């Protein structure tokens, strides 16, 4: 495993300490004193430089059970409800990343997956300091049990689509659920 390298988004300093505050992942820069929920991280995620800035590659998994959708609350930025998702690693196919991320975030095994959308969103900011993500959104069938002791996830819930509008769901995930026809626009 490669070691993560974190850089402060304010001063570019690299003396960063990670810590948890109320189960939320935060970063402290020793160079400028900034405390933030985001830093620029160089890790094993696939990362490319574009004219508009760095771009990550992401997968998302819409997992349904009897009309309900699996929604989680993550321990890292932006601290809003979402469905399982994650970065594609270097050398990994979108499908391989999907199987790995679903397992890591939920403990569930992917049985089958259908690609719904492949699209670049340049308004999607992640905890690792990147604002552009090339998404592969899948509709996924799973088996197994949810791992409720996962440290990356604070809460798991199965929601009826019409109840999702009462949640503070992240705008990116709201966009995907609307585009998939599962929830209506506002
Ligand atoms: Zn700093
Ligand atoms: Zn990212």
Ligand with minimal distance to 15 CA: 1
- State the distance from the centre of ligand 2 to the C-alpha of 158, rounded, in angstroms: 25
Say if residue 100 is in the same domain as residue 156.
yes
CATH of the domain at 109: 3.90.79.10
Residue 185 resides in a domain: no
Whole-model pTM: value is 0.93
Range of the domain at 15: 5-42
pLDDT tens sequence for the chain (186 residues)? 457 899 999 999 999 999 999 999 999 999 999 999 999 999 999 999 999 999 999 999 999 998 999 999 999 999 999 999 999 999 999 999 999 999 999 999 999 999 999 999 999 999 999 999 999 999 999 999 999 888 889 999 999 998 998 888 999 999 999 999 999 875
- State the distance from the centre of ligand 1 to the C-alpha of 7, rounded, in angstroms: 8
- State the distance from the centre of ligand 2 to the C-alpha of 66, rounded, in angstroms: 31
Do residues 7 and 13 lie in contact, with contact meaning Cβ atoms separated by under 8 Å? Answer: yes
- State the distance from the centre of ligand 1 to the C-alpha of 100, rounded, in angstroms: 33
Say if residue 26 is in the same domain as residue 91.
no
- State the distance from the centre of ligand 2 to the C-alpha of 84, rounded, in angstroms: 14
Say if residue 89 is in the same domain as residue 144.
yes
Say if residue 37 is in the same domain as residue 59.
no
Say if residue 27 is in the same domain as residue 80.
no
Residue 184 resides in a domain: no
Task: State how far the Cα of 117 lies from the Cα of 133, in Å rounded to an integer.
Answer: 13
What's the structural domain count of the chain? 2
Task: State how far the Cα of 130 lies from the Cα of 149, in Å rounded to an integer.
Answer: 28
């Amino acid at each position: 495993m490669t070691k993560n390298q974190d850089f402060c988004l304010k001063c570019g300093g690299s003396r960063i300490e990670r810590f948890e505050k109320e189960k939320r992942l935060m970063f402290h820069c020793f160079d400028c004193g900034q405390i933030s929920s985001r830093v620029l991280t160089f890790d094993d995620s696939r990362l490319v430089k574009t004219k508009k800035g760095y771009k990550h590659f992401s997968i998302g998994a819409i997992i349904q059970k009897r009309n309900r959708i699996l929604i989680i609350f993550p321990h890292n930025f932006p601290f809003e409800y979402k469905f399982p998702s994650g970065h594609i690693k270097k050398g990994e196919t979108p499908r391989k990343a999907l199987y790995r991320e679903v397992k890591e975030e939920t403990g569930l095994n992917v049985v089958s997956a259908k690609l719904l959308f492949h699209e670049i969103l340049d308004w999607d900011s992640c905890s690792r300091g990147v604002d552009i993500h090339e998404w592969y959104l899948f509709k996924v069938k799973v088996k197994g049990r949810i791992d409720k002791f996962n440290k990356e996830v604070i809460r798991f819930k199965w929601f009826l689509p019409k109840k999702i509008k009462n949640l503070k769901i992240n705008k990116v995930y709201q966009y995907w659920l609307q585009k998939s026809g599962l929830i209506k626009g506002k």
